[in-house]
């Protein structure tokens, strides 16, 4: 299929480049003392948000393809929508439909999994045990476990990764206890062997992303497969012990643990003849553990002999690298992204971020596609993230990203560039207010310098975010107590155009319920092109 863009007759774009700045995790919340974005000193953002070329965008729920407007947005679906110009059904919704329709249980892969579990093997489920609906949903796991009971599968183990990030920071028992009670009932009534077998906090065990720290995956492998971690008689005991030993402990940083029987033996190591399903539907933090289970030529850590395990993902987490090779639910097909059109027009572009969000401005932006669309005219730059808790270095790599972007803007022949500042999200996830304020202020300062360069080059900048986070750092419970909030928010995100050459050639359009998917058409207009016919409406009218 040949992709072509039509030039606008009324507006040819600016002489200089167009820079898209994505402020990850910086939403527009209520102005109170729980809002780090509001509390931060942000003269640049204040000026942009008060300009006539400003609006608010929906970045959660149905606006980004999630099942309901109670669902928080995230960086993956946000960047999908930004790059695709349309809304596609996303992970949770796809999985829900596959389970509800029964299609997930009709595949040859599921039948192979069942065969192993009905033989001498055990069926293992590895994933984030919460209802955050960002990486996974415990409701989906329950339905699949119910199917296992219906099929008479006698041995099932869950390797529970604790959340504390997309849900309350110390809410692990809200999920662990009901699962263990459910399994106890199944075992008593059926004579089966269903257990939570191992686990740990998501930021400490198994769920690394973008090759930031393979030791996280190693700890998970040792717990899930080798049965090597601190031993407890139940997951409930593990969580309660960690809480008691360190009152400041939050779920996401909890250590690895293994559940053992009365003889001290692990109840659920993953061994030869077993099947294992990663029940996360979001890809970024599931890719590395999938590699550990499926790659024969694997060198990231010493995993020992690779067991004969049929491993599957809930979805395929990276289509271009075929990771994992086996998966239960087909991902959305996102074709004709904005950069496919721009590459077809030979528009030179770049994408830049630090490791934590590099995949978002490349893989997710390009519709879940790894690598370049056209390496002859695209440049991707990854700034390695620090391996440190983000509240201890809240500036992260924003300054390095800003400096490299300025270098490319001044020295490169680029027409379009996109960058992601990870600070508002990654520091917001720590729940530390002072650090989040510093993070937001750092982004503001970097944007100020970028806008100076855009002005000098007679270009344009678009400033937005993919979802909120730092805009709500704590909530107040019914007893009037502060509850630290580390999850994303349901707040809208800002959208502002910085155009020093602006003389009224266009104006903000009156778009009903604008969202992230409206940004792509807007970028095309600002570059001097007509919007693609089936893209969502541009945010400007000409």
Residue 165, annotated as binding a ligand: yes
Residue 283, annotated as binding a ligand: yes
Banded model confidence at residue 529, pLDDT cuts 50, 70, 90: very high
Residue 466, annotated as binding a ligand: yes
Q: Residue 424 to residues 78, 470, 521: CA-CA distances in angstroms?
A: 15, 6, 26
Residue 131, annotated as binding a ligand: no
Q: For residues 378 and 349, is the Cβ–Cβ distance under 8 A?
A: yes
Banded model confidence at residue 412, pLDDT cuts 50, 70, 90: confident
Cβ neighbours around 186 below 10 Å, total: 18
Q: Which of 7, 50, 51, 75 is catalytic?
A: 75
**Tens-place pLDDT, residues 238-256:** 999 999 999 999 999 999 9
Mean pLDDT score, 351-368: 95
Residue 287 has pLDDT above 90, yes or no: yes
Q: Please provide the average confidence, as pLDDT, over all residues in the chain.
A: 96
> Residue 20: in which H helix or E strand, if any?
strand 18-23
Helix axes 519-526, 75-84, angle to 10 degrees: 40
CATH of region 92-329? 3.40.1450.10
Residue 488, annotated as binding a ligand: yes
DSSP-based three-state secondary structure for 339: helix
* DSSP string across 363-378: IITTTS--S-S-TTTE
pLDDT of residue 330: 79
Catalytic-residue membership of 75: yes
**Alpha-carbon distance 79 to 83, whole Å?**
6
Mean pLDDT score, 125-146: 96
Banded model confidence at residue 319, pLDDT cuts 50, 70, 90: low
Would you kindly state where each structural domain of the chain is located, as residue ranges? 18-89+334-541, 92-329
**How many Cα atoms occupy the beta-carbon half-sphere of 354 within 13 Å?**
23
**Tens-place pLDDT, residues 64-84:** 998 889 888 999 899 999 999
Cβ neighbours around 6 below 10 Å, total: 11
Banded model confidence at residue 430, pLDDT cuts 50, 70, 90: very high
Residue 318, annotated as binding a ligand: no
Query: Which fold would CATH assign to domain 18-89+334-541?
Result: Alkaline Phosphatase, subunit A (3.40.720)
């Amino acid at each position: 299929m040949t992709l072509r863009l039509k030039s606008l007759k009324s507006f040819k774009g600016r002489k200089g480049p167009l820079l898209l700045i994505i402020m990850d995790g910086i939403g527009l919340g209520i102005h109170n003392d729980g809002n780090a974005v509001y509390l931060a000193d942000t003269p640049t953002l204040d000026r942009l948000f008060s300009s006539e070329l400003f609006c608010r965008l929906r970045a959660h729920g149905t606006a980004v393809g999630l099942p309901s407007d109670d669902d928080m947005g995230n960086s993956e679906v946000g960047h999908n929508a930004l790059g695709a110009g349309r809304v596609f059904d996303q992970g949770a919704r796809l999985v829900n439909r596959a389970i509800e329709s029964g299609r997930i249980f009709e595949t040859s892969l599921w039948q192979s999994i069942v065969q192993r579990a009905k033989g001498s093997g055990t069926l293992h489920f590895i994933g984030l045990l919460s209802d955050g609906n960002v990486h996974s949903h415990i409701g989906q796991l329950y339905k699949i476990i119910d199917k296992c009971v219906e099929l008479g599968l006698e041995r099932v183990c869950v390797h529970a990764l604790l959340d504390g990030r997309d849900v309350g920071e110390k809410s692990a028992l809200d999920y662990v206890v009901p699962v263990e009670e459910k399994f106890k009932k199944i075992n008593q009534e059926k004579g089966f062997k269903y257990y939570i077998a191992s686990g740990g906090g998501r930021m400490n065990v198994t769920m690394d992303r973008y090759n930031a720290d393979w030791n996280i995956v190693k700890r998970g492998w040792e717990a899930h497969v080798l049965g090597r971690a601190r031993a407890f008689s139940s997951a409930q005991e593990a969580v309660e012990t960690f809480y008691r030993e360190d009152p400041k402990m939050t779920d996401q940083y909890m250590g690895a643990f293994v559940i053992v029987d009365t003889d001290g033996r692990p109840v659920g190591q993953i061994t030869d003849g077993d099947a294992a399903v990663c029940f996360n539907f979001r890809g970024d933090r599931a890719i590395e553990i999938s590699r550990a289970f499926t790659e024969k030529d694997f060198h990231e850590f010493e995993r020992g002999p690779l067991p004969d395990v049929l491993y599957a993902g809930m979805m395929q987490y990276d289509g271009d690298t075929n990771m994992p090779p086996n998966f239960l639910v087909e991902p959305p097909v996102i074709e004709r992204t904005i950069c496919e059109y721009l590459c077809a027009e030979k528009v030179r572009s770049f994408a830049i971020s630090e490791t934590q969000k590099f995949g978002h401005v490349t893989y997710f932006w390009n519709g879940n596609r790894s690598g370049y669309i056209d390496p002859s005219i695209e440049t991707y730059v990854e700034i390695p993230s620090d391996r440190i808790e983000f509240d201890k270095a809240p500036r992260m790599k924003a300054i390095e990203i800003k400096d490299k972007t300025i270098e490319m803007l001044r020295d490169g022949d680029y027409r379009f560039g996109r960058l992601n500042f990870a600070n508002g999200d990654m520091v917001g996830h720590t729940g530390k207010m002072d650090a989040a304020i510093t993070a937001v202020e750092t982004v503001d300062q970097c944007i100020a310098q970028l806008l100076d360069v855009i002005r000098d080059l007679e270009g344009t900048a678009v400033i937005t975010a993919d979802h909120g986070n730092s805009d709500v750092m704590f909530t107040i419970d019914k007893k009037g107590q502060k509850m630290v909030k580390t999850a994303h928010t349901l707040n809208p995100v800002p959208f502002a155009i910085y155009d020093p050459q602006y003389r009224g050639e266009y104006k903000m359009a009156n778009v009903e319920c604008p969202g992230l998917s409206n940004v792509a058409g807007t970028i095309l207009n600002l570059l001097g092109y007509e919007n693609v016919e089936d893209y969502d409406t541009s945010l400007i009218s000409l």
